[in-house]
């Protein structure tokens, strides 16, 4: 497993990872609406100071595109069809070896990416298929969207990962 201090790029799914997985129909002029966490946004902004942060999602709703834009993230891989190929493109574009990528996902379409990256995470309420991951130490389900991930062979909170990475020696 890649040490936290060697992570060079964070890639993540949007639906169910940055959102609670719920959508609302806002009408023809608005489209589908999602709820995003301010805390996730703050963590992403801190992480951007230390490493590349890139969303990889099949979702291209106006809500997702706007959230990515508000965070100042590269939106080229929002609305993709082939996520594994997208990770390969991102690694090439950002000159980062896939072993230095941390990917956070929640769904069946994220499972193939877990084998491609150095650190793979699933949010606590992810689809059961990301089974190679274990709950974080002391994990209890607190809400439908518990922000603590299950990590491969690690017991690190998703909320403290930005601090661990930011404090790592350069």
pLDDT tens sequence across 81-109: 999 999 999 999 999 999 999 999 988 88
If we measure between CA atoms, which residue out of 136, 100, 106, 135 comes closest to residue 119? 100
How many domains does the chain fold into? Answer: 1
Range of the domain at 154: 4-167
Domain CATH for 101: 3.40.50.1000
Residue range 104-154, pLDDT digits in tens: 998 888 989 988 999 988 887 777 765 444 333 333 343 444 444 433 333
Please give the model's pTM, rounded to 2 decimal places.
Answer: 0.75
């Amino acid at each position: 497993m890649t040490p936290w201090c060697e992570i060079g790029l964070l890639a993540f799914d949007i639906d169910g990872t940055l959102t609670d997985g719920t959508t609302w129909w806002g009408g023809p002029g608005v489209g589908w609406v999602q709820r995003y966490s301010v805390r996730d946004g703050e963590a992403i902004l801190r992480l951007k100071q230390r490493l590349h942060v890139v969303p990889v999602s099949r979702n291209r709703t106006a809500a997702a595109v706007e959230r990515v834009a508000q965070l100042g993230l590269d939106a080229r891989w929002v609305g993709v069809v082939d996520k594994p190929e997208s990770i390969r493109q991102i690694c090439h574009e950002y000159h980062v070896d896939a072993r230095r990528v941390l990917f956070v996902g929640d769904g069946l379409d994220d499972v193939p990416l877990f084998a491609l990256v150095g650190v793979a995470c699933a949010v606590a309420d992810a689809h059961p298929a990301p089974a190679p991951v274990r709950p974080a130490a002391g994990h209890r389900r607190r809400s439908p969207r518990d922000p603590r991930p299950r990590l491969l062979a690690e017991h690190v909170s998703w909320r403290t990962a930005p601090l661990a990475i930011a404090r790592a020696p350069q």
